[in-house]
Amino acid sequence: MQIKSFAIEQFFARYEFSSPYILCASDCETINVETLLRMAGQSLSDLGALSLSYTESQGHPALRQAISQGYQLATADDIVLLATPEEGIYLIMRTLLEPGDHVVVLTPAYDSLLNLAEHVSGNVSQWQVQPGDSGWQLDLSQLEKLVTADTKLVVLNFPHNPTGFLPSQEQFQQILTIAQKHGAWLFCDEMYRGLEFDSRQQLPSAVDAADRSIVLTGLSKVHGLPGLRSGWLVIRDEQVRNELINWKHYTSICAPAPSEFLAMAALRAQDQLASRSREIIRQNLIAASQFFDRWSRLFEWRPPQAGSVALVGLNQPSATAYCHALAQETGILLLPSSCMGYGDKHIRVGLGRADFVRNLAHYEEHLLASQK
Ligand SMILES: Cc1ncc(COP(=O)(O)O)c(C=O)c1O
C-alpha cells in the first residue's frame, strides 16, 4: 500500500550531502566518537571492548535506568529504546491506531507525525500553528472543537518543528486538559525539549504532566548526535508498551549495541552537550534576526521561542522553486514549506550548526550579487 512521499527526507536526500552551505538542518552541531567518550570520562578502548551481540529488545537496563532519571513519574520499565527516533513514530501509530480512528495532529509537522497517522487511520484533523503579528500562536478554542469523544489520539510536538513555537506553561496545561477530556491518547514528540532559550520556559515532559501520554525523544537534536540514531519512547501503560514492543520485533528487534553504548556516554555528558547546542543556537539567532531585519523586503521573520529551527515567510512566487534553484545554482540549502505541507510561501532555517553564520554570510553575498 502506498504512503505519501516523505517530502522533508526526500529533499535532504537529494541535496544534503552535496550542498556546502546548509542553512536548514534541524540537528545541532555534532562531535566525533573520541570527543564524546572524553566528555563522558571514557576511552576508545572501552568502546573497542564492546560485544556486537544482540541487545535487549526493550533496551539495556542500565541505559533505561539512566534515561528514567530525566522524568519524575517514569521508571526504567517504562522506557523503550529504539533503533532510531523515527522508528518510535511508526511504532506508536501502528500500536495505537486502527483504520478510521480519529487523530488530531499539530501541523505543520515533521512528515511522519502526520503522514503515518493518515496512512494508518485515514481520519486526521489538523490543528495548525498560526502566524501572529510578532510570532507563532495556537488557537486553543480550535483544539476544543477538533477533539471529540471519537478522538483516539492527539499528536503534539513542542518545541515545535518547524516554527520554534513553544506554548506557555498555562497553555500547555490547557492543551493537555482538552486532549484528555475525552480520553484520547496523547503522543508528544519532545525531540527538541532541552533547547529552550530560557530554562524557565521548559515545559514538563508530557509523561509527567498527563495520564495516557506517550513521549518520544532522542539524541539527534539537543545532544547533536543524529548519526547515533538513538531515541526512546516513554510509555507508562503496560499493555500499550507490550503491544508496541511486539511491533518493534517487526522493525528493528533491538537497538544497535554501539548506539546503546554511546547513548550511555551521551547521557553522562548531557549537560555539556545540551548547553553547547543552546549556546550555538543563541549566537546564530542573533545573526539570523539581524540578517532577516536587513532583508525584510524578501523575508518575514517570526522569531522562534525554543528549539533549533524557525519558519520564515518568503516574498517569492514559490518557495519550492526558489529553494531548488538556490541549491542547484549556489549550493545554499533552505527547506521550502511545501515539504511540510504548509503552502509555498515559507522556508525553514536551522540554527543549530556551527557554520550557520558563515553560510548565512555566503547567502548574503549571493543576495547582494543578484541585486546588481
Ligand atoms: C519533530 C521530529 N520528530 C522526529 C524526528 C526524527 O528524528 P531522527 O531523524 O533522529 O530519527 C525529527 C527529525 O527531524 C523531528 O524533527
pLDDT in tens, 175-229: 999 998 999 999 999 999 999 999 999 999 999 999 999 999 999 999 999 999 9
pLDDT of residue 1: 82
Give the count of domains, the chain.
2
Look at residue 299 in the predicted model and tell me its pLDDT.
98
> What pLDDT, on a 0 to 100 scale, did the predictor assign at position 320?
98
Of ligand 1's listed atoms, the one at least distance from the Cα of 27 is 14
256 and 280 together in one domain: no
Residue 3: predicted pLDDT:
94
CATH number at residue 193: 3.40.640.10
Average per-residue pLDDT for the chain: 97
Examine the domain organization and report whether 324 and 207 are in the same domain: no
Q: Are residues 153 and 253 in the same domain?
A: yes
Residues 249 and 346 in one domain: no
In a domain, 258, yes or no: yes
Task: Categorize the per-residue pLDDT at 372 as very low, low, confident or very high, splitting at 50, 70 and 90.
Answer: confident
Specify whether 200 is located in the same domain as 237. Answer: yes
Same domain, 256 and 348: no
What average pLDDT does this structure show over 59-66? 98
What phi and psi, each to the nearest 5 degrees, are found at residue 152? Answer: -90, -35
The answer as to whether 40 is a domain residue is no
Q: Is residue 215 part of a domain?
A: yes
Q: Is residue 372 part of a domain?
A: no
Q: Show the cell assigned to 182.
A: 475525552
Residue 199, SS3 per DSSP? helix
- Percent of the chain past pLDDT 90, that is, above it, reads 98
- Confirm whether 238 is domain-assigned: yes
Whether pLDDT at 360 is above 90 = yes
Q: How confident is residue 172, by pLDDT bands cut at 50, 70 and 90?
A: very high
Q: Specify if 36 maps to a domain.
A: no
Which pLDDT score, from 0 to 100, does residue 371 have?
Answer: 87
State how far the Cα of 371 lies from the Cα of 166, in Å rounded to an integer: 36
Q: What is the pLDDT of residues 230-257, one digit of tens each?
A: 999 999 999 999 999 999 999 999 999 9
Q: Which domain holds residue 342?
A: 7-31+271-367
In the DSSP assignment, the letter for residue 117 is H
pLDDT for 278-310, tens place per residue? Answer: 999 999 999 999 999 999 999 999 999 999 999
Question: d(Cα 58, Cα 126) in Å, to the nearest integer?
Answer: 32
Q: In this predicted model, what pLDDT tens digit does every residue of 6-21 receive, in sequence order?
A: 999 999 999 999 999 9
Q: What is the CATH number of the domain that holds 339?
A: 3.90.1150.10
**Around Cβ 63, how many Cβ atoms within 10 Å?**
23
- Distance (Å) from CA 24 to ligand 1 centroid: 14
Domain end residue (candidates: 269, 304, 329): 269
| 191, part of any domain | yes
pLDDT at 22: 98
Report the C-alpha gap between 125 and 263 in whole angstroms.
36
Q: Are 266 and 40 in contact (CB under 8 A)?
A: yes
What is the Å distance from ligand 1's center to 281 Cα?
18
Cα dihedral sign, 47-49-53-55: negative
User: In this structure, which amino acid lies at residue 327?
Assistant: A
**CA 110, 112, 113, 115 torsion: positive or negative?**
positive
Residue partners of 51: CB distance under 8 A and separation at least 6 = 257
Are residue 255 and residue 293 in the same domain, yes or no?
Answer: no
Give the distance (Å) from ligand 1 centre to CA of residue 224: 12
**Domain boundary residue, one of 269, 285, 308:** 269
State in Å: Cα 113 to ligand 1 middle. Answer: 9
pTM of the model: 0.98
* 146 and 222 belong to one structural domain: yes
Question: Regarding beta strands 332-333 and 21-22, do their DSSP bridges make them parallel or antiparallel, or are they unpaired?
Answer: parallel
Three-state SS letters, 269-291: CHHHHHHHHHHHHHHHHHHHHHH
> Cα(53)–Cα(146) distance, rounded to whole angstroms?
47
Q: Which atom of ligand 1 is nearest to the CA of 226?
A: 10
- Looking at 269, 304, 334, which one is the last position of a domain? 269
State the pLDDT at residue 15: 98
The reply to whether 133 and 187 lie within a common domain is yes
Q: Which ligand 1 atom sits closest to the C-alpha of 309?
A: 16
Nearest CA to ligand 1 atom 9: 86
121 and 155 belong to one structural domain: yes
Half-sphere exposure of 164 (CA within 13 A, CB side): 27
Q: Are residues 171 and 283 in the same domain?
A: no
The rounded Å distance from CA 289 to ligand 1 centre is 25
Tens of pLDDT, residues 111-161: 999 999 999 999 999 999 999 988 999 999 999 999 999 999 999 999 999
Give yes or no for a contact between 203 and 215, defined as CB atoms under 8 angstroms apart: no
- Check whether 27 has a pLDDT greater than 90: yes
Q: Which of 88, 212, 235, 216 has its CA nearest to residue 147?
A: 212
Q: How far is residue 120's CA from residue 190's CA, in Å, rounded to a whole number?
A: 22
- Same domain membership, residue 263 and residue 119: yes
Is 199 domain-assigned? Answer: yes
